[in-house]
């Protein structure tokens, strides 16, 4: 198989894994000021993701590392052109990462509120900006003949990209709600499922609008099937939340995110970063790639290591599969 195509697909898989696994964590953080009614319930929400979310970040790091190694020109243009939004995402992820570690250090409401705010900020910012970034990549950005981004920050805040940001925010919000419904018990589970039932139709309409815009303006004929499957999966989310089938709903939201990644990368191929200035300036899987030898070495490394990552992820979900409730939380902070 053409290794350039293989690594384009593998990077898409890595992004799908990250967005599915960290998507529900982002959703939990986004819901922190909305769903819980007490500090104990907030601790329940933290505990649903506590054993899992550190491992989820491996997918993001690997996606970034694989892009740097396999397609260095893509990495360079992307990170220079999208410097400010990616910096905001990085700062948000740092804030979210340290918040659970420091939250319990001092037993006061004001101290906990500060770190809860950091966790909320660290969830909403990436949830929106990931959608904005990927939508701009699909749409194309100003790139000159030297593969340099020639636009500014406000070029990225176009209607299509902003709709993409709203889509990812709603998807992750719904994903987080059904995850909480799937992992908890008691009143918080009830409220999560009730809110998911109300949010799911809004997510369906918004995601459908963005997917159809993508399909009509930037995609290819075969991805209509992807759009149709994503719409069907979102309908499953709507009906599953109404029927209080949280496990089915969580599988469906995971499927929607996977299909969104397929739509994005399917729309791009063979480009990795289209140029809106001149199609000849677009970065492709060939003019942006590393040497064949580098891709060969990376492929062997992936063959050896990826099964271990998948095995660990499966094991962690199995070990921490039980529901938790306020009864599971000790009275001390």
Residue 34 backbone zone (phi > 0: left; psi -120 to 50: alpha; other: beta): alpha
Structure token digits, residue 153: 């920050």
Q: What is the pLDDT of residue 329?
A: 77
Q: Which helix H or strand E contains 16, and what residues bound it? A: helix 3-31
Q: What is the pLDDT of residue 313?
A: 81
For 246-276, b/e burial (b = at least 16 CB within 10 A) is: bebbbbbbbbbbbbbbbbbbbbbeebbbbbb
Q: What is the pLDDT of residue 70?
A: 94
Q: What is the pLDDT of residue 53?
A: 76
Q: What is the pLDDT of residue 331?
A: 65
For 297-326, b/e burial (b = at least 16 CB within 10 A) is: ebbeebeeeeeebeeebeeeeeeeeeebbb
Whether residue 96 contacts residue 90, with contact meaning beta carbons closer than 8 Å, is answered with: no
Q: How does DSSP classify residue 37?
A: S
Q: What is the pLDDT of residue 58?
A: 84
Whether residue 126 contacts residue 26, with contact meaning beta carbons closer than 8 Å, is answered with: yes
| Biggest CA-to-CA distance, the chain | 63
Q: What is the pLDDT of residue 256?
A: 96
Bond prior to 16 in cis (omega within 30° of 0): no
The one-digit pLDDT tens for each residue of the chain (333 residues) are 699 999 999 999 999 999 999 999 999 999 999 999 988 999 999 989 887 777 788 899 899 999 999 999 999 999 888 999 999 999 999 999 899 889 888 888 899 999 999 999 999 999 999 999 999 999 999 999 988 888 888 888 999 999 999 999 999 999 999 999 999 988 999 999 999 999 999 999 999 999 999 999 998 999 999 999 999 999 999 899 888 888 899 999 999 999 999 999 999 999 999 999 999 999 999 999 999 999 999 999 988 888 888 888 888 888 888 888 888 777 654
């Amino acid at each position: 198989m053409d290794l350039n195509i293989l690594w384009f697909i593998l990077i898409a898989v890595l992004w799908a894994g990250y967005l599915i696994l960290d998507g529900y964590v982002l959703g939990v953080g986004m819901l922190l000021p909305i769903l819980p009614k007490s500090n104990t319930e907030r601790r329940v929400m933290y505990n649903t993701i506590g054993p899992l979310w550190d491992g989820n970040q491996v997918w993001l790091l690997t996606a970034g590392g694989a892009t740097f190694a396999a397609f260095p020109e893509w990495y360079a243009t992307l990170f220079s052109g999208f410097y400010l939004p990616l910096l905001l995402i990085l700062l948000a992820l740092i804030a979210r990462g340290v918040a659970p570690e420091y939250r319990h250090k001092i037993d006061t409401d004001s101290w906990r509120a500060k770190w809860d705010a950091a966790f909320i900020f660290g969830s909403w910012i990436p949830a929106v900006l990931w959608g904005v970034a990927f939508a701009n990549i699909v749409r194309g950005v100003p790139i000159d003949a030297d593969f340099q981004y020639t636009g500014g920050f406000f070029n990225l805040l176009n209607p299509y990209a902003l709709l993409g940001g709203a889509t990812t925010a709603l998807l992750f919000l719904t994903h987080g709600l059904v995850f909480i419904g799937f992992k908890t018990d008691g009143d918080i589970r009830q409220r999560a499922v009730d809110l998911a039932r109300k949010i799911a139709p809004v997510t369906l309409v918004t995601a459908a609008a963005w997917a159809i815009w993508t399909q009509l303006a930037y995609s290819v004929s075969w991805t209509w099937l992807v759009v149709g499957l994503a719409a069907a999966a979102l309908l499953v989310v709507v009906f599953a939340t109404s029927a209080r089938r949280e496990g089915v709903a969580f599988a469906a939201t995971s499927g929607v995110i996977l299909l969104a990644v397929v739509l994005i990368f399917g729309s791009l191929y063979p480009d990795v970063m289209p140029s809106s200035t001149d199609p000849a300036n677009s970065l492709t899987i060939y003019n942006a790639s590393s040497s064949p030898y580098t891709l060969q070495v990376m492929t062997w490394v992936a063959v050896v290591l990826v099964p271990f990552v998948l095995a660990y992820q499966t094991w962690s979900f199995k070990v921490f599969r039980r529901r938790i409730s306020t009864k599971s939380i000790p009275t001390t902070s």
